[in-house]
Chains A and B, each alone.
Chain A
Amino acid sequence: MPLKLWRKPLDADKIKVLHGEVYIIKERCKGGKGCNFCIEYCPKEVLEESEEFNKKGFHPPRVKDENNCVLCGFCEAVCPDFAIFTVEKNCEGGC
């Protein structure tokens, strides 16, 4: 039996969990064993390695599970190559 929620948190209707949409500019990325900072330091393990090559022979990351992205923006901040960024997902119809 699940615990009955006897009190609704006062700000329950104000807190909005943000969801992110991840964009990867593959040709700019220097991913692979050498970088992969975004994969390693994403707190939600949204990204994973891929075997795909870009023109320069690097492996851009792949989105594993975008639903987990909380739009913290750390991947964007830690990317040395301006190759990844996130924008807020429109969740009007539910996410």
Chain B
Amino acid sequence: MGGYYGSKNKTMEQHVLLRDVDVPNIREIDVYLAHDGYAAWRKALTTMKPDDVIAVVKDSGLRGRGGAGFPTGVKWGFIPKDVFPRYVVVNGDESEAGTFKDHQIIDGNPHQLIEGILLTCYAVQANVAYVYLRGEFYEPAKTLQRAIDEAYARGFVGKNVLGSGFDVDIHIHLGAGAYICGEETALLSSLEGQLGQPRLRPPFPAVQGLYAKPTVINNVETLANVPPIVLHGAQWYRQFGTEKSPGTKIFCVSGRVKRPGNYELPLGKYTIRELIEMAGGTIDNRPVKGVLPAGSSAPILPASALDTKLDYESLQAAGSILGSASFVILDDTVNIVWAARKMVRFFKHESCGKCTPCREGTYWGLRLYDKILSGHGTREDIDMIAEVASQMSGKCFCLLGEFATSPMLSTIKHFREEYEAFIAAHQGGRRNGYDDELIREGVIDEAGNLIVGHVGQKTAHHL
């Protein structure tokens, strides 16, 4: 079994998801069983019809935790009647920069995920579930596989579970390093053994998903919510969160704070400022420069937005999104041009290459950042970056391309003077603190000259 990963930040009397914070060793099946484990599963199989499970999840108002926030019960309801087999696919690709919540659920509380998968299978009458985990989750996958094996041995998974006549199997499928495989249609392609590239929607996976069969696809954290909802009911669940954003959510806090980690909180109760305080405040108590609420994919929020409440609607009203709630905190020591380049580099690396605006836009975007960061930029390059991003907007095949524009556009919008100051201070290729990484990535040579025609960083792809 892989080593336990996770932060033990006690933020609630009783956690709903990160129960490993409250209960030591809840990853072990006997400990889980002693704490209501598989009670929801028993309850569903003995007292509920599949539609009852869908109904309680609908009533709970649970929204998808993978990024889009779509109501989970509603999605399950889209599965067409009378088409079989159906599949449940669990999205454990967790590759958005700054996101590490599913990692802790899988490692620390795997049975709650398994129970959620089982309940979902029952709700939509699927007999097979695939858990797609990013390839780097090799150790968490071992932990989860061991937990699945235990659940089989106790009769919770397999043929005729608990004498109900319902058969269900759970298989793990490991990815192999590609952010785009977190996008649900790309994930399905990857799982089918094709290139992990997005497909046209519609048809949506609920209608034609895995192997062209009706498929429910949900994020790991989403499904971990299902057992407590089924066990305690929708009203109980709604004691947490707001009317439109019910429940608790795991907030991943990283970057320039003293205690980075996972913090489970009721949605809408606290502000970004309070979240940063929970994480110990910034390193050396520096002023916050900006916050990325959903890793690289969401527009940056300036310090003036720190009093925004932590829920879907409030973040949107503030000009960003809650997404996967991976809060990357930047303080005033961070060079915004450097930070933006890191994010653009991510998208350049992760663009699947299927469509031109994204493939070319991320390439040219990165080239412009290379030019500026290596001290060869001009003020016109700032407008050029904005132009590249605007050209991409609305023209990309999937949301990755759209995400890629947000570090460019939002940092220029809020921090344009800083771009200008950096360019002015580093004219003529003056050496700066970024030489080492730029040389490593093949952007400049040892003398500080831009390498003409370099193809971006040397990465894992070149091996």
Q: Do A and B bind each other?
A: no
